[in-house]
A and B are shown apart, each in its own frame.
Chain A
């Protein structure tokens, strides 16, 4: 889509001084209000570089490949689902009909992006680069910069992470409709099981919309799994496209029209999780916000810099229950609760070996057909050795057993004792 004129416009850009960036106060769905001009050269350079990067992504990434791939995956999934579980013709038809609606939405977004939206997105960023369009900037509490640029048919949001290296962009598209899905109940789970699975999503990617449970996701497997947990009438829409370092992704929004969301905030979800950290809740939490590193035997549950402490508190009871430890990792661009080695394996086993059969079947199918790799990694992690049987990670020195903390930078020996033990006893030992 980069034509000669655009090339010239970009190439002839003198410097970052051209951009018209302002500190702003933004409200959801109410736009942004400029407060003052940004005069700091470093910040203007960061904004300028981010705009250049986003401009390249918008023009270079190929939506057709992504859209066709998702549509094919969906058809394949539905075919296999109908073969896998024993469901009547009506249910099969309902599922196929829902899938075709989603595929229609994917094709529609592909066509409209290529026909209309891409030009507007391209022009919007170009105008921002040349100063013809204002860039509204909000600095988050933790140092990230959020840029907002309004176009004619699109509005673009760019996040420059605190480390100033990582950039993500979301292009919101105006004038797209919503589809209604009629989701049959094929999981046949008890109310308690459904509640626990929903709770994990609520503590992760889930949100609330008009008092209904809702979720925004870039993963098609997550859209399907979430919908299956809320049988009845679900409304779904594609409101935006994500442009990350890895590529373009369709961002889905879904909410259930048949259920009410009783958990009003993420913190309430954490509180509920603290009371009852079931394998089902942890499954959906990890599928939602977790990452699994098989090479280093680790599970990381990501959280925002503003919420990781609450999440850590929510997981304290689970750690006592499973007798595992965790560590908190706080970086410029986010935080996470980390489980390493045997701690990660024990947590994975707690989840993987305590799931209803039908749910496992569906997860296996989502893994095979819709790229739910995280489930595969969680199962693999559960099958690994805890590493406790052969060779300890402890060293005894003067009668005290120390755990060894080994990293590429340091070695430390650590010792602690339980609640009834006094740390001073170790010291004067």
Chain B
């Protein structure tokens, strides 16, 4: 990730080290943001996803002003 200049963060989750990209970073990189938007669109229309996930995806797409 370093070579692409992504500002990821590190933490421990139940003893398992993980890296994560926070929203403040996601929104700065068009490439990552487009991937997230694509995922949100798929999630919103996916009947296999829980009602809560679909609703959250819809809320986020509205927030991002994506039709």
Contact = CB atoms under 8 A, between A and B. Distances in A.
Contacts of A423: 10, 17-19
A404 interface: yes
Contacts of B46: 390-391
A412 interface: yes
B31 to A, nearest CB: 8
A341 B50 CA distance: 8
Contacts, number: 95
Contacts of B35: 395-397
Contacts of A411: 23, 26, 36, 60
B14 interface: yes
Interface in B1-54: 1-4, 6, 8, 10, 13-14, 16-23, 26, 31-32, 35-36, 39-40, 42-43, 46, 48-53
Interface residues on B, range: 35 or more
A413 interface: yes
Contacts of B23: 410-412
Interface residues of A, number: 38
A427 B53 contact: no
A130 interface: no
B28 to A, nearest CB: 13
A415 B39 contact: no
Given A295-B52, A411-B60, A414-B19, A404 B14 contact: no
A132 to B, nearest CB: 51
Interface string A168-211: 00000000000000000000000000000000000000000000
Interface in A384-425: 385, 387, 389-391, 393, 395-398, 400, 402, 404-408, 410-416, 423
Interface string A231-249: 0000000000000000000
A390 B46 CA distance: 8
Nearest to B47: A390
Interface string B53-67: 100110110000000
B1 A427 contact: yes
